[in-house]
Chains A and B, each alone.
Chain A
Amino acid sequence: MTNIPMGSNPDVVDVHDVLRSVNARAPGANVDFIHEYALRGRRILRRFRLGNGLSVLLVCDPATPVASFHTWFNVGSCYEKPGRTGMAHLFEHLMFKATTHHEEGEYDRVMEERGAQTNAATWVDWTCYHVTFPAHGDNLETVLRYESDRMVHLDLTSAQLESEREVVCNERRYRVDDDPDGKITEELYALALEGHPYAWPTIGWMEDIKAIGLEDCEAFYGTYYAPNNATLVVTGNVDTEQTLFLIASYYGSIPSQDIPAPPNPAELVPLAAPRRRELTLPISTERLLLGFVTPGLNHPDIPALDVAIELLFGGESSRLHQDLVMEKEIASSTHGWVGTFRLSALTEMSVTLCPGRQAEEAQEAVFAALDDIGRNPPTARELEKARAQIEVSAIRSIITANGLAGKLGHCEITVGDCRHLFVLLDAIDKVTVEDVSRVVRKYFTPQSYAGIVARAASAASEATP
């Protein structure tokens, strides 16, 4: 990543000229240029901020026929209170309802008429609304008109809340109650992070979803949905000046407001002793999910943890796939994932057992592999392999306008730097084999795990009377 001088890239604009023009045409928005960076490839990322605190990230790419517009809010399920879990996610659903200017269903109908692809997502640290649309005509302005409107003018009713509550309850049944992986993951976070705001599921506990009232939703909206708590990301075939002018016009007059400080719970440290829970589920074979407390996405140990998990779990040549799946035939699949959270949370390791094999066998093999890598640094070739796999995944994730906007927004909200994907790739290039051993010893010990074992319900106990 390089700071670039003006005019050294095909995406040439004089940002200061643009700024003068935009501020003259949309007085009061007070748009400020913060900085620009060359992303890998030929694209330039530019960062702006409006006077009301709204952050804007812009990457123009005239080669694509589409554009993507993301709105990222600094609020997710970790901002909730026990007894009202699921609030951020349920509210995300309600954002597609009526506003004081537009009737219910109009947003979706207008976007679909224009061929736009819309969706939203909520997680522990953030809520994201995204629209990707054909980059022609007045589509960009239409998107901005509707998106800026629903940031401040949502007009909720009890009927809308009740209907959407039912949808969310059904989503929970689909993703958790009738889904073994969803159920096991929910149990792990509750077990490992008890008392921490990452412990409850983003979709919420069923009884909490049912308890959320209209006044809860209105209070949540009034507290967190404001320009100074949001970042807009625009990527694709848009014009810098026109985009900035439209953003200034539609968002510039929305007032900022006091935003509560984000949750700042006591820093999680590795568990002092193992925590283990068993479930019985209607599954064909046993499953094991282990969680280890690891630091937030911005921590300097994350690059080495990414490499460690890649060489343990990434691809068919990974150590654990070769050991558990190909040689010992204990497992049918293995997966690992380093948490991408703002705060310390969990790195997950999961194993789906072969028929007749027990989770304890897998756990023993996983800890043996961790012990080995902790004692004996990986080879230089293994390190190179992991780096290449991580690099190709990163490239693949930013090929589309929507993919790039998603990565930039996630990094901006989670670590406060939209360039973090590229920072991370640079840092991974500097990871040494000793770093990998060190982080494995530090975070992945047999004394510091939380584990969920899912046993298969016997045919007799499952039988429908």
Chain B
Amino acid sequence: MIVVPNADHPLLGMQVHFGGGSVTDPLGQEGLTYLTGQMLMRGCGALNQAQFSEAVDYLGATLGVSVGREYFVIEGEVLSRNVEEYVALLEEVILQPRFSQDQLDLLKRQSYAALEERRDNDEALAREFFFQIAHLPDRISRPTMGTRESLERIDREDVVQCAQRIISSQNHFVCAVGDVTESFVEERLATPLRGLSGGERLVPRRIALEEPERVRVVLIDKPKRTQSQIVLGHPAIPAAHDDHLALSVGNLLFGGTFTARLSHEIREKRGWSYGAYSNLASLRHQGMFSYRYYPSVTDTVPALELGLRLLSDLVSEGVSEDEVQFAKSFLTNQYAFRVETAWSRLDEVIRAHYLGLPDDHLETYVDRVNALSVDAINQALRTHLSPNKLLVVMVCTADMLADSIRALPAVDSVEIHPYANDWPQGDTLL
């Protein structure tokens, strides 16, 4: 149980975290955990969906389920004056879900529509295709919401069994934040949840991914685009790796801030994209280094060429002492935002838990940043970033760009995939 009390505002948040996530979905039933999570919000105890949602809204509350590839969280916020009624509802959701057949049928139809709608947003589409392709053949590559075909294979009994597997006494922890006390959370939420049936802690099995063998470009072909959404990257080290902090500083200097190399070269000097940033995804088992920007059709080819060269320069030339001093100043000063509110402090604790970081991770952070040397950062860049082994996913109108991209010396292959089609998962998932 984690509680971060703060009575500055008459508001509090509660979260119940369960191990697992969509990576534990059975093969062929992708989306099962997602459907199970959503079904928790479709009625419980004596309340049907309409009555349940009315009860939540009446309290000035939110209550929902976030299902990711490696997490399953029931969470929400409520006005302090209504906390008693809210906790009662939360317990009912966890202990007495209805899982009505009618609501499951409705939810599946709504999910089919949501899957289609996701193709309307180019930025999200580029990110999702990049994630899936980059993580193959690991099971984590499978879409959290599943596909129409996989959702069609799921019935009510599957959902009931999935809930029994996830919602168990051994597989959860409770968090609260805001205008609430530890004793209240212990008495009213944590203790009742200890009465859940046994189960076991779900720890997703993961494999180490291999980097792409070359610069592989996948064009997600969508008609009439005026710009191209480009994501480049490759698998990287997990958050608990010894080199992670050094690599994250290198990433910061490459594309982690507005003044970093990527934004400076692509946005500030050339005006080629509204945004240009890189990211080192901090995950427990497998990190992912990626960077993205979105130039106009006219600027796409030179912008891609420049983006590839900037990464190559970063790795071959390294970062300078001045840059590292800047990064240290930025990161150590930014610490204030990580502890600004009770909500941000809770986020930090939960993040450390999911990433398998030591308990004193936050307290030692500033000292560890200040202890980094330029050599350590450049060594991490050389060891863990591979400019010649990148996956490039681009949502664009392919016929306008494919030939020019194929002609780039740095590009080894170009594939074209229709935006309306799912990426094939195949039978090779591990």
Contacts and interface: CB of A to CB of B under 8 A. Distances in A.
A400 B295 contact: no
Given A163-B270, A285-B113, A392-B77, A41 B9 contact: yes
B7 to A, nearest CB: 9
B10 interface: yes
A414 interface: no
B271 A399 contact: no
Given A105-B268, A114-B329, A400-B341, A332 B110 contact: yes
A211 interface: no
Interface string A434-465: 00000000000000000000000101001111
A134 interface: yes
A171 B223 contact: no
A391 B337 CA distance: 25
Interface stretch (B58-66, B184-192, B309-317, B383-391): B58-66
Nearest to A105: B259
Given A180-B120, A282-B222, A285-B113, A465 B399 contact: yes
B49 to A, nearest CB: 7
B171 interface: no
A384 interface: yes
B225 A178 contact: yes
Contact of B58 (A41, A132, A168, A384): A384
Interface in B51-83: 53-54, 56-62, 77-79, 82
B117 A112 contact: no
Which residue, of A41, A134, A164, has the highest number of chain B Cβ atoms within 10 A?
A: A134
A49 interface: no
A395 B49 CA distance: 27
Nearest to A356: B113
Contacts of A399: 8-9, 11, 341, 343
Contact of A174 (B221, B227, B332, B335): B227
B33 interface: no
B257 interface: yes
A134 B333 contact: yes
A36 B335 CA distance: 32
Contact of A464 (B331, B337, B399): B399
B117 A66 contact: no
B368 to A, nearest CB: 16
B267 A167 contact: yes
A284 B119 contact: yes
A115 B110 contact: no
Nearest to B221: A464
B379 interface: no
B117 A285 contact: yes
Given A170-B227, A322-B50, A112 B330 contact: yes
Contacts of A132: 337
Contact of A396 (B11, B59, B116): B11
B335 to A, nearest CB: 7
B223 A462 contact: yes
A170 B274 contact: yes
Contacts of A391: 60, 79
B23 interface: no
Contacts of B326: 109, 112-113
A439 to B, nearest CB: 21
B106 interface: yes
B193 to A, nearest CB: 24
A355 interface: yes
A66 B336 contact: yes
Contacts of B223: 282, 457, 462-464
B397 interface: yes
Interface string B274-287: 11000000000000
Contacts of B116: 284-285, 355
A388 B59 contact: yes
A385 B57 contact: yes
Interface in A148-187: 162-171, 173-174, 177-180
Contacts of B267: 167
B131 interface: no
A317 B79 CA distance: 18
A161 to B, nearest CB: 10
A332 B113 contact: yes
Interface string A394-417: 011011110000000000000000
B373 interface: no
B399 A282 contact: no
A399 to B, nearest CB: 6
B259 A464 contact: no
Interface in B321-335: 326, 329-335
B109 A352 contact: no
Contact of A173 (B8, B61, B226): B226
Which residue, of B60, B82, B114, B339, has the highest number of chain A Cβ atoms within 10 A?
A: B60
Given A134-B333, A134-B334, A318-B57, 15 more contacts: A64-B341, A105-B264, A115-B337, A163-B270, A282-B222, A314-B57, A315-B53, A317-B56, A325-B110, A332-B114, A389-B57, A392-B62, A392-B79, A398-B9, A399-B8
4 pairs of A and B residues whose beta carbons are closest in the complex:
A115-B333, A166-B271, A388-B60, A134-B336
8 contacts: A105-B259, A163-B270, A170-B295, A174-B294, A282-B120, A284-B120, A392-B11, A464-B221
Interface of A: 41-42, 63-66, 105, 108-109, 112-118, 132-136, 162-171, 173-174, 177-180, 282-285, 314-318, 322, 325-326, 329, 332, 352, 354-355, 381, 384-385, 388-389, 391-392, 395-396, 398-401, 457, 459, 462-465
